[in-house]
Amino acid sequence: MSKTALLFAGQGAQVVGMGKDLAENSPAAKAWFDRANAALGYDLAAICFSGPEPELTKTEHAQPGIFLVSWVAFELLKERVPSLVFEATAGLSLGEFTALTAAGALSFEDGLKVVRQRGRFMQEACAATQGGMAAIIGLNEAVTREVCAETGVVLANLNCPGQLVISGPTEKLGPACALAKAKGAMRALPLPVAGAYHSPLMASAQPKLEAELARVTWRDPVVPVISNVTAQPHGGPDAIRGRLVEQVTSSVRWEESMRYLIGQGFTRFIELGPGRALSGFLKRIDKTAQVLNAEDLASLETTVKALQGKR
């Protein structure tokens, strides 16, 4: 029997217009966007639908916006396919919060509010430091770790074979990219992000996030949720809170997380939320996996048909 895991998008997937066609064509979707606006006290839906892009790109809007659109896609998929069964969830960085919410570890409102605050704390850390990130394409992990050790940056994301991300002080990224190319990287290019995510430069966000997580009611997840930090299932509420704080400065072990699920017999993966980055990573990790996604009406319909066995 095929086992299904749900995957939730991370920051960087945001795009102006995300979720708009879902809200315009589904009363249930519109209700979720209205509920989110009420919970936050401002019109997040309008920023998702209409931008402007600089506003949506702000970490404090991008994070809850992606969480919200991913959640709406999840709810609409359940509505369209009542027989849907999933046995695990995972999310990239910010998406881990959506994955935990989908697994019942916290309520929708709490998840949304925590993610908004997380975005604010990380934005404050970015403003207080001079940092950035760069994608390293075509270099293996061992050599990339050598680059990090020699230049004073860290390995932030291990996404899939041949695609890694480094993070650190702005003045060290240029030399790190140059060294990566010298060691054989096909490309090494700075990313358009506000700061050095998943690096020690984000440490000032950790105590603030820890206090925020302590105010939320947590429950045991109803299915395994894979931790970015350990690439293994989360434990109970106390362990979850600890890992989420740790995640702010730790590497995202995404490839390892996916290989764990594949090793557990998972063959179908459904990416929920804007973009298809996670689907692309998965195809690089295991070409035989069935990968579906739901980010808008068209992709939702395609996924519904696939799940119902229709062409």
Catalytic residue chosen out of the listed positions 61, 70, 167, 198: 198
Residues 114 and 136 in one domain: no
Catalytic residue chosen out of the listed positions 93, 199, 227, 257: 93
Dump pLDDT digits (tens) for 276-286. 999 999 999 99
Residues 119 and 143 in one domain: no
- Does the pLDDT value for residue 311 go beyond 60? no
Dump pLDDT digits (tens) for 219-235. 999 999 999 999 999 99
Residues 147 and 213 in one domain: no
Calculate the average pLDDT of the chain. 96
Q: Give ∠ CA 272-278-283 in degrees, rounded to 5.
A: 125
> For residue 193, what pLDDT band results from cuts at 50, 70 and 90?
confident
Question: What pTM was estimated for this model as a whole?
Answer: 0.96
- Give residue 18's pLDDT: 97
Residues 34 and 58 in one domain: yes
Final residue before a domain boundary, out of 190, 211, 229:
190
- Does the pLDDT value for residue 1 go beyond 80? no
Dump pLDDT digits (tens) for 63-106. 999 999 999 999 999 999 999 999 999 999 999 999 999 999 99
Residues 48 and 156 in one domain: no
- Give residue 309's pLDDT: 85
Residues 26 and 37 in one domain: yes
Number of domains composing the chain: 2
Final residue before a domain boundary, out of 190, 219, 236:
190
Residues 123 and 135 in one domain: no
Active site residue 93: yes
Q: Which domain holds residue 249?
A: 3-127+200-307
Q: What Å distances lie between residue 272 and 13, 126, 258, 278, CA to CA? A: 11, 27, 15, 9
Residues 277 and 170 in one domain: no
- Give residue 310's pLDDT: 67
Encode burial over 201-230: b for 16+ CB neighbours within 10 A, e otherwise: bbeebbebbeebbeebebeebebbbbbbbb
Dump pLDDT digits (tens) for 163-178. 999 999 999 999 999 9
Provide the token pair at 149.
């050790």
How many CB atoms sit inside 10 A of residue 83's CB?
A: 7
Average pLDDT of the segment spanning 135-149? 97
Residues 114 and 243 in one domain: yes
Residues 176 and 263 in one domain: no
**Residue 243 phi, psi (nearest 5):** -65, -35
CA-only gyration radius of the chain, Å: 19
Q: Tell whether 80 is covered by a domain.
A: yes
Q: Tell whether 106 is covered by a domain.
A: yes
**Residue 155 phi, psi (nearest 5):** -85, 115
CATH of the domain at 164: 3.30.70.250
Residues 238 and 207 in one domain: yes
Average pLDDT of the segment spanning 101-115? 98
Average pLDDT of the segment spanning 233-248? 97
Q: Tell whether 195 is covered by a domain.
A: no
Active site residue 107: no
Half-sphere exposure of 124 (CA within 13 A, CB side): 13
Residue with the two structure tokens 């984000």: 202
Residues 229 and 289 in one domain: yes
